[in-house]
Amino acid sequence: MTETPTGTLTETWLEEVARRLPARVRGDVVDGLRTAVADRIHDAAARGVPAPEAERRALEELGDPARLAEDHAPGPRHLIGPAHYHEFLELLRVLVPVLAGVFGGLSLLGTLFAEAGRQDPVAYAALALASALGAALQGALMGAGAAVVVFAVVERVESARTAGRAAGADAPAEAAGSRRSGAEEEPARWTVEQLPPPRPPRDVTVGELVWSSLGLALAFAAPFLLSRPLFAHGPLAGEPLLAPGLWWPWVPLYLGLVAVSWGWELLRFLRRRWSWGLWAVNAAVDLAMAALLVTVLRTESVVNPVLRERGWVGEGFAAAGVVLVVVITVWDLVATFLACRHSLARRRGAGGG
């Protein structure tokens, strides 16, 4: 290593590199680059090149300080790189509308129930809509933030693994020499073997996931909303629609099944296509929910007894509820069965079964 002095131009160049580097690697990188510059100046001076010109040539050979800092910095210098950007956008298209709709819809219903009985309908509607829009914006921001965090973590974990494999494969002396010289390594040649396997077409769209998530969110919120007083004034002021004694153990079981249903919807979206296994899980959840609701309707007082006493709910309410549950369950089982069979037949016809 030579001791050729470096000038102000070199110090400025090194400062431009250093300010872009994390503190834990800054000293080592700057020392290595300073040595590389000094070696180049010494070699040029030995060939008779004047010192100022030798320094200029050395810095230009090593290149842009920003690029060198990028090469020497540990980990990625971007939040989400091109390898995961498309998947990031796909997750963003799901989370933002789903959370915006869920937050906005629940806020709208909550405000409508809480402010029921207001004399001014315009103020009533404006208050509900303003609250819903604010909650929807909050949900959208939460969805976007969650997507960014997920893929930023994935990007850094994969970068750390890649760096670890590279460090294990390269000899320490070769790595040190490459860092000092500032020379770029030849990128690995891309081959068709690096292509990922073909991605199957989707049987479910983002829109379907959004609407099903909204419906399930409302179903999840229903026991809480119906346990609040419906009216602030009038003969039913302060009375909820749902019977107060219904909560344990029926409502926790109901909420658990709703959560499982949403998990199934998300799994179907991530799997991209139907399978008989997915249909069987959906059928099991449907039948479990139907059994729970029919049992509650036949054995428990679902509606607040005060409403029954005042004639607001007739004797046929439970029977009508059972019929409605059975019809919806059968319809969903048949519809999902046909969708699954159609998807499998289409794949067999396309040769992708």
CB 302 within 8 A of CB 252: no
Q: How many helices (H) and strands (E) does the chain have?
A: 12, 0
pLDDT tens digits for range 307-319:
777 777 667 788 8
Going by C-beta distance under 8 Å and a sequence separation of 6 or more, which residues neighbour residue 33? 14, 17, 62, 68, 180, 182
CA dihedral 230, 232, 235, 236 (to 10 degrees): 20
Q: Would you state the pLDDT for residue 231?
A: 63
Tokens of 154: 């994935």
pLDDT above 80 for 223: yes
Q: Can you give the pLDDT at residue 232?
A: 61
CB atoms within 10 A of CB 212: 19
**What is the distance between the alpha carbons of residues 97 and 117, in angstroms, rounded to a whole number?**
31
pLDDT at site 325: 93
Contact 307, 238 (CB under 8 A): no
Mean pLDDT of 295-314: 76
CB contact set of 279 (below 8 Å; sequence gap of 6+): 336, 337, 340
Distances (CA, A) of 74 to 35, 159, 162: 21, 9, 11
Residue 233 has pLDDT above 70, yes or no: no
Name every residue whose Cβ is closer than 8 Å to that of residue 50 and which is 6 or more positions away in sequence: none
Enumerate the β-bridge partners of residue 191. Answer: none
With vertex at residue 52, the alpha carbon angle to CA 49 and CA 54, rounded to the nearest 5 degrees, is 45
pLDDT of 158 over the 60 cut: yes
Beta partners for 230? none
Cβ-Cβ contacts under 8 Å for 278 (sequence gap 6 or more):
264, 267, 268, 271, 340
Query: Could you tell me how many residues make up the chain?
Result: 353
pLDDT digits (tens, 9 = 90+) for 55-78: 888 888 888 888 888 777 766 667
Per DSSP, the residues of 270-324 read HH-S--HHHHHHHHHHHHHHHHHHHHHHHHS--B-HHHHHTTSS-TTHHHHHHHH
pLDDT tens-digit readout, 8-42? 788 888 888 888 888 888 888 889 889 988 888 88
Q: Give whole-number Cα distances, 265 to 4, 202, 205, 327, in Å.
A: 68, 13, 11, 21
Confidence of residue 169 (pLDDT cuts 50, 70, 90): low
Q: Name the amino acid, one letter, at 275.
A: S
| pLDDT of 179 | 46
pLDDT of the residue at 256 = 93
Taking only the tens place, the pLDDT of each residue in 253-290 is: 999 999 999 889 888 887 878 889 999 999 999 999 99
